[in-house]
Structure 1
Amino acid sequence: MVRFRTGSPNFPPGIRILLILNGLIYLAQKLLPDMTGWDVTEWGALHHWSSPLFKPHQIITHMFMHDPQNFGHILFNMFALWMFGSILENYWGTKRFLNFYIICGIGAAVVQVLMIPYEAARFAHASYVPEAWPQVIQAYTEQYSMIGASGAIMGVMAAFAYLFPNTELFIFLIPVPVKAKYVIPVYVLIDLFGGFGRQTGDNIGHFAHLGGALVGIIIVIIMNRTNRRNFY
């Protein structure tokens, strides 16, 4: 969907690790349920802390999971990770980039979990009579699950737009290049509208995207002010 005008970045080691890890886990999601009966997706997906399905490891594992029935989900995420993340890793170094990526993913998870009751309430109010709202909200919250690297990748994209604002990108169906400082904020606005403007759920973790972008931009601003070359 997006490509650089000046050419394609390479594959630094951190990006290779993330691409391979996501690919292997995607294969496990598709194959292991039939081979072993183990539902890898349910085990690794992020649930609300009030759900009996919640486990602490899900704060990390959810960002390496993708919809096993939708190859486009992992394909687009990994493309965006490679395109924007390669530049950041080459600029920061591998350890710094991987730390940043994981922190953005955790931030996305925390924001999304905090907003699950809000989404549950909106869903209940839009679809059910008032007498059923408490039961619907409880069921929605307990059954909710989230997978995907999008939150962490939104952090990467936000950092890229901050550090390289005038980089020109080609966007699908737009015949002229658009600078990153204009493209990435549009994605954020779409998630703001998707999170607060829609009446019912659309199966997209908009608040995770917003959380990842927020954490990413905060980290990169702090790093820029202190001129730190590493954080561990």
Structure 2
Amino acid sequence: MSYYYQGNNYTTSSSVYWTPGVKILIIANAIVFALQVILYSIESRNSGTWRPFSYFIQYFALDTSKVIPKLWLWQLLSYSFLHSITDIFHLFFNLLTLFFFGHIVEERYGTKRFLAFYLVCAVFAAGVYVSLQFLYPGRSIMLGASGAIMGVLVLAACILPDVTVLFYFIFPMKLRTLIWILVGMDIYMVLIPHGGVAASAHLGGAFFGYLCYLFSGRFHRYYMQWKRKIALEYQKEKEKSSYNMREEIDRILDKIHQNGIQSLTAKEKEFLQNASKKYKSNS
């Protein structure tokens, strides 16, 4: 898949896509998928009661009968690194989308914020999926990174809405147009009977991506202000502590000058020793 600005000379090289955060997520998903395949192979050859693949899915896929009732809350994130081993295209298209569009978000917000966004988006999408179980009662299991990937795709579209993409490598369209098509399909899937509740996770990821675009700048400013405030308060407290220490040292030295060192209490001697060590370590 390639993209460009219409009417502008804008091109990308393959190295641009392979940003650090994108690389980490793709490798992590690939490793987990390989582990799934290995466990499935072991289980399929084992006729006994040991079922490593089934246990792995049971504990790490998102199971609505366990995540809230049994407080298996890690499933709200772990499910996003699992994929169906019987449908390789599930993993392939998720990682392909991440490869082509993840760098747009990462270059805008930085690697740490991109990774944080991806993980929180996966949890948010899972929360939407679990919440919709009130409308679709019964046990259901979900796995896959599609919710988080949808969030990345929507955020990328908010950043570069007029980028032209080749949908399925054939149909050219604006990225924002593609988003409306995907969101419309997911809404349809959620509303029709037995249409697939997992589509709600896609919508949750899309909604979270849009929220991040609207409020991430404001939140980041608040965070930086709070961080500076904490740093200033820490510096003031450090200066106050240093001033109090100097005051106490002066008092003890005056006491030594007037009455001799033998007049010091054990606590005062220990304080001087600790103060001496602290000044030596700071010098």
Task: Give the TM-score, by structure 2 length.
Answer: 0.67
Residue identity matched to 1:77? N
Work out whether 1:74 is the aligned partner of 2:68. no
Question: Which of 187, 190, 211 is residue 192 of structure 1 equivalent to?
Answer: 187
Distance in 2 between residues matched to 1:76 and 1:69, nearest whole Å: 14
- Residue in structure 2 matching 1:83, options 91, 96, 100: 100
Task: Supply the distance in 2 between the matched residues of 1:230 and 1:62 (Cα, whole angstroms).
Answer: 29
Asked if structure 2 preserves the Cα contact closer than 8 Å seen for 1:96 and 1:230, the reply is: no
Q: Which has the higher contact order (CA 8 A, sep 6+)?
A: 1
Distance 1:179 1:34 in 2: 42
Q: Greater Rg, structure 1 or structure 2? A: 2
Gaps of 5+ in 2: 5-10, 43-49, 228-283
Secondary structure of 2:103's partner?
helix
Q: How does 1:124-163 map to 2 (within 5 A)?
A: 141-142=138-139, 144-163=140-159
SS in 1 for 2:131: helix
Cα distance in 1 between the residues matched to 2:66 and 2:34: 29
Distance of aligned partners of 1:4 and 1:229 in 2 relative to their CA distance in 1, 3 Å threshold: farther
CA distance in 1, matches of 2:148, 2:222: 21
How far 1:10 moved relative to its partner? 2.5
Of 128, 132, 153, the match for 1:111: 128
Indicate the larger mover: 35-44 or 56-65. 35-44
Q: Deviations over 1:17-48 (max 9, x none)?
A: 11111011001111114437312222211011
| Partner Cα separation in structure 2 for residue 178 and residue 216 of structure 1 | 20
Counterpart of 1:11 in structure 2 is: 18
State whether residues 47 and 54 of structure 1, in contact with CA within 8 Å, keep that contact through their aligned partners in structure 2: no
Give the structure-1-normalised TM-score: 0.80
* Distance (whole Å) between structure 2 residues aligned to residue 191 and residue 13 of structure 1: 30
Q: State the 1:75 CA deviation.
A: 0.2
Deviation at 1:201, TM superposition (A): 3.7
Q: How high is the sequence identity, in percent, across the aligned residues?
A: 31
Match of 1:119, SS? coil
**Count of paired positions:** 207
| Distance apart, 1:180 and its partner CA | 1.2
Per-residue CA deviations over 1:76-117 (Å, capped at 9, x if unaligned) read 000011111112112211001001111111110000001023
What amino acid is aligned across from residue 98 of structure 2 in structure 1?
L
Greater mean deviation of Cα atoms: 46-55 or 181-190: 46-55
1:224, distance to aligned residue in structure 2 (A): 3.8
Separation in structure 2 between the aligned mates of residue 226 and residue 57 of structure 1, nearest angstrom:
26
Q: Counterpart of 1:170 in 2: which secondary structure?
A: strand
Please tell me whether residue 55 in structure 1 is matched to residue 51 in structure 2.
no
- 1:97-148 CA-partner distances (Å, limit 9, x unpaired): 001111111110000001023124xxxxxxxxxxxxxxxxxxxx23x11000
**1 CA distance for matches of 2:101 and 2:222?**
19
For structure 1, the 5+ residue unaligned runs are 121-140
Question: What amino acid is aligned across from residue 61 of structure 2 in structure 1?
Answer: A
Q: Per-residue deviation at 1:67?
A: 0.2
* Shift in Å, 1:11: 0.8
**Counterpart selection for 2:199 from 199, 206, 211:** 206
Root-mean-square deviation over aligned CA pairs: 2.4
Q: Equivalences for 1:4-43 in 2 at 5 Å?
A: 4-5=3-4, 6-7=11-12, 8=14, 9-35=16-42, 37-39=51-53, 40-43=56-59
